[in-house]
Amino acid sequence: MRDLPDSSTPVSGAGAMLRLVRDGRATTRAELVDITGLARSTVSQRIDALLAEGLLVAAQASTSTGGRPPTVLAFNAELGVALAAEVGVTRCHVAVTDLEANVLAEAIEEIAIADGPDALLPWLTGRLDALLALAGRARADVRGVGVGLPAPVDVASGRPLRQPSMPGWTDVPVGERLGEALGAPVLVDNDVNVMALGEHRLNWRETGHLLFVKAGTGIGCGIVVDGQLHRGAHSAAGELGHARAPRGGETPCPCGNAGCLEAIAGGGALARELTAAGIPARTVHDVTARLRDGDPTARALVRQAGRDVGDVLAPIVDVLDPAVIVFGGELADASDELVAGVREVVYQRSLPLVTRDLAIVHSADGSRAGVVGAAVLAIEHVLAPAAIDAALARAG
Amino acid sequence: MRDLPDSSTPVSGAGAMLRLVRDGRATTRAELVDITGLARSTVSQRIDALLAEGLLVAAQASTSTGGRPPTVLAFNAELGVALAAEVGVTRCHVAVTDLEANVLAEAIEEIAIADGPDALLPWLTGRLDALLALAGRARADVRGVGVGLPAPVDVASGRPLRQPSMPGWTDVPVGERLGEALGAPVLVDNDVNVMALGEHRLNWRETGHLLFVKAGTGIGCGIVVDGQLHRGAHSAAGELGHARAPRGGETPCPCGNAGCLEAIAGGGALARELTAAGIPARTVHDVTARLRDGDPTARALVRQAGRDVGDVLAPIVDVLDPAVIVFGGELADASDELVAGVREVVYQRSLPLVTRDLAIVHSADGSRAGVVGAAVLAIEHVLAPAAIDAALARAG
């Protein structure tokens, strides 16, 4: 299930036709013939199979020339649904989407990830089932499930890797267990990766290179290169929080190193600093509550945290040359201070060639990017050309 | 010419067949039928066209079963040649290669890039012509030309962008001028990018993610993601040298900022420090000469430069999660000190998940990665599926 098909394989099957229609590159058989170089009869045979399966729908185009109008093909996003969950440390966002990742129903619930997978996975299955009923759809409609977890994840096996904030989750086969419970393929990835993917598909689809930074209790980033998630050699790409911050000094970090960005600019560190300044705060929620009140101490602390994030990001911007950096996460969402601090440093410090039209922005969709990205992950998997060809072969 | 074909286009033309054979994924018509899903007659028609053009050659396989042996197809790398040049600030490496980027003839010449394009481009054309004659090939055999320049390059237009060390080159249409002189398509890219590409194809082809760091007068890096060069949104990816180094303080840098990595760990900075320590040195060559003599002051300085490079690389390693970091350039080639300094810091400072099997190595091919990468750039361009299909359409 996790042997992701190579999208660069020059296949000429029905799955490739479906992708061309989904990507908006072709809407008629004639266009498909032009693009693929296949015989018209071959294209028609494949399109007929996709129509028979309900993956495509055909409509008669209107025409002003009086001739017989061509049949316009469209992807049938209503054929099924995807289930999506963005699981955080204290919050879980669940959604049912159509096969274009449009949200049909969603909910946000308080959780405690430390309760562990034996408690949370059955709970999650129940929540997704309830949402499915709310959307008026059944288990049989579910084509795939996407899940974001606040840990590095081995995407191939669907298992989270070691993460101090997730005791009991290490190496648990989350994908397999949810797959058995829900009866559909499950894709699991890091939460910031799914947020990056969702943000790209929702708002920056025309942009090849995007960096998504989540700033909350922890600080991490997701990288989209040429429209695809960059996961790295060990599914560990994006670990921004444990980079050494210039202002980090010898501040100890739970990771065992000192001076990490998260140790001075993460939500926990800011809560401690706020407390030291006489404003009691325990978690990132307390910090953002003070921010929303306009408290000047909280604002100054978060502004400085933004500069610290900028110090670490500036060389990464020089090296990656992204078109846009999008910020999400509680600390970024609660005010303009964090992103303003990042802008101060990156625009001053990164190369003019790179920053001349670099956008550094808040996520336009707030918290929704995560579930949308999780849905996209599942949809791209089940609609991959090789998966479609295999499904049609079974059906045929 | 620079409108690079999208390799993810699911084409089914002869160009796609050629790619499957070149990549070693298919060696017989039967395998091509299996992989592409095309009719056997369609595959045969396309293979015949490739055989007629000489792009493929066919051989009878030996067989132990007594049946009629299948025809084995192979790419004909002898059909033509590529010309390649890695142009440095003081040195130019030129080569003639076959269409698998195997070097047929090469030369290394002293140059001064400050002489400008009006002097150097005609000189380069002459040198490539002479090398072509040496390899026993003619202008008509040249399929493409690849050039690496020590500046950011707008790859689409083949023009170098502003670079202080290259007065007179900014925005000069290098690709167009060489193309007119040599009568073949010319691809121009940053020198470190072509080194990264060459190193990947020569030694790390099975590895998706590679970082190539060149340390000489300047310090830069090239990024290979999923086997492809990552150039970024402004063709500026890889600008490592102007990242702020933790030890950089207020050291001024010619770029206008202070504390840049290059300002404390580049060849010029090390020459100044060596001079200050009583060992006169003017350029990076003087530094590497002392290194080769085993001078302890030079060794200590370059070791510290390696630690400085490591300080800047560590967060980039956390964020990109590469499988290997390869070092080239004069400072890295002259001794083990630079890479040893990098290892000290990166293995201590980057995340264990990322570094557990991260290779940090010297380039195995010394200076040859550059010309090989330049040749690969040209070859991938002229043999891209869309380019082959267009060429066959013209021929047919």
- A218-264 pLDDT, tens digit each: 899 999 999 999 999 988 899 999 999 999 999 999 888 899 999 99
Nearest to B319 among A228, A237, A351 (CB): A237
Which residues from A are below 8 Å from B7, CB to CB?
Answer: 8
Query: What fold, for B81-196+370-382?
Result: Nucleotidyltransferase; domain 5 (3.30.420)
Report the residue of chain B nearest A390, measured CA to CA.
B37
Q: From 3.10.105.10, 3.30.1490.190, 3.30.420.40, 3.30.365.10, which CATH number describes the B203-366 domain?
A: 3.30.420.40
User: What is the total residue count of chain A?
Assistant: 396
- Pair of tokens at residue A184: 């559909």
**pLDDT number for residue A7:** 39
**Residue A59 pLDDT level (bands cut at 50, 70, 90):** confident
Subunit contact B237:A162, Cβ cutoff 8 A: no
CA distance B14 to B18: 6
**Residue B38 pLDDT level (bands cut at 50, 70, 90):** confident
Q: Are B220 and B149 in contact (CB under 8 A)?
A: no
Subunit contact B244:A315, Cβ cutoff 8 A: yes
Q: How far is CA B159 from CA A210, A238, B182, in A?
A: 25, 32, 17
Segment A184-207 mean pLDDT: 94
- Identify the CATH homologous superfamily for domain A202-367: ATPase, nucleotide binding domain (3.30.420.40)
Handedness of CA B184, B188, B191, B192 (dihedral sign): negative
pLDDT for residue B58 is more than 70? yes
Subunit contact B244:A246, Cβ cutoff 8 A: yes
Percentage above 90 pLDDT, chain B: 78
CA distance B365 to A396: 52
Letter for the amino acid at A234? H
> Mean pLDDT across chain B, nearest whole number?
91
Exposed, middle or buried: residue B3 (CB in 10 Å: 0-12, 13-18, 19+)? exposed
Nearest to B225 among A42, A230, A315 (CB): A230
Nearest to A353 among B36, B236, B356 (CB): B236
Domains B81-196+370-382 and B203-366 share a fold: yes
Residue B224: closest CA among B243, B238, B211, B207? B211
Report the residue of chain A nearest B163, measured CA to CA.
A353
Nearest CA-CA distance, residue B20 and chain A, Å: 8
Q: Are B153 and B189 in contact (CB under 8 A)?
A: yes
3-state class (DSSP) for residue A256: coil
Which residues from A are below 8 Å from B322, CB to CB?
Answer: 232-233
3-state class (DSSP) for residue A78: coil
Nearest CA-CA distance, residue B64 and chain A, Å: 32
3-state class (DSSP) for residue A231: coil
Helix (H) or strand (E) holding A84: strand A81-87
DSSP A245: P
Nearest CA-CA distance, residue B334 and chain A, Å: 25
pLDDT for residue A337 is more than 70? yes
Domain A14-76 CATH assignment equals 1.10.10.10:
yes
Which residues from B are below 8 Å from A236, CB to CB?
Answer: 318, 321, 351, 353-354
**pLDDT top residue among A38 and B199:** B199
pLDDT for residue B23 is more than 80? yes
**Residue A10 pLDDT level (bands cut at 50, 70, 90):** very low
The tens digit of pLDDT for each residue in B225-267 reads 999 999 999 888 999 999 999 999 999 998 888 999 999 999 9
Nearest CA-CA distance, residue A233 and chain B, Å: 5
**pLDDT number for residue A65:** 64
Q: Angle B29-B30-B34 (CA atoms, 0-180°, nearest 5)?
A: 115
Percentage above 70 pLDDT, chain A: 94
The residue behind tokens 């002898």 is B78
CA distance B322 to A319: 13
pLDDT for residue A61 is more than 80? no
Q: Give, to the nearest 10 degrees, the angle between helix A296-320 and helix A337-349.
A: 40
Nearest CA-CA distance, residue A161 and chain B, Å: 9
The residue behind tokens 């007065």 is B167
ipTM: 0.88
Query: Over chain B, what HEC string results?
Result: CCCCCCCCCCCCCHHHHHHHHHCCCCCCHHHHHHHHCCCHHHHHHHHHHHHHCCCEEEEECCCCCCCCCCEEEEECCCCCEEEEEEECCCEEEEEEECCCCCEEEEEEEECCHHHCHHHHHHHHHHHHHHHHHHCCCCHHHEEEEEEEECCCEECCCCEECCCCCCCCCCCCCHHHHHHHHHCCCEEEEEHHHHHHHHHHHHHCCCCCCEEEEEECCCEEEEEEECCEECCCCCCCCCCCCCCECCCCCCCECCCCCECEHHHHHCHHHHHHHHHHCCCCCCCHHHHHHHHHCCCHHHHHHHHHHHHHHHHHHHHHHHHHCCCEEEEECHHHHCCCHHHHHHHHHHHHHCCHHHHCCCEEEECCCCCHHHHHHHHHHHHHHHCCHHHHHHHHHHHC
Report the residue of chain B nearest A23, measured CA to CA.
B9
Nearest to B354 among A20, A35, A239 (CB): A239
| Domains in chain A: boundaries | 14-76, 81-196+370-382, 202-367
Nearest to B242 among A235, A239, A318 (CB): A318
Report the residue of chain A nearest B221, measured CA to CA.
A319
The tens digit of pLDDT for each residue in A341-383 reads 999 999 999 988 899 999 999 998 667 899 999 999 999 999 9
Query: pTM (2 decimals)?
Result: 0.90
Nearest to B13 among A37, A231, A351 (CB): A37
Subunit contact A232:B354, Cβ cutoff 8 A: yes
Residue A232: closest CA among B343, B353, B193? B353
**pLDDT number for residue A366:** 64
- Pair of tokens at residue B104: 């047929």
**Residue B64 pLDDT level (bands cut at 50, 70, 90):** low
Which residues from A are below 8 Å from B311, CB to CB?
Answer: 244
The tens digit of pLDDT for each residue in B287-331 reads 999 999 999 999 999 999 999 999 999 999 999 999 999 999 999
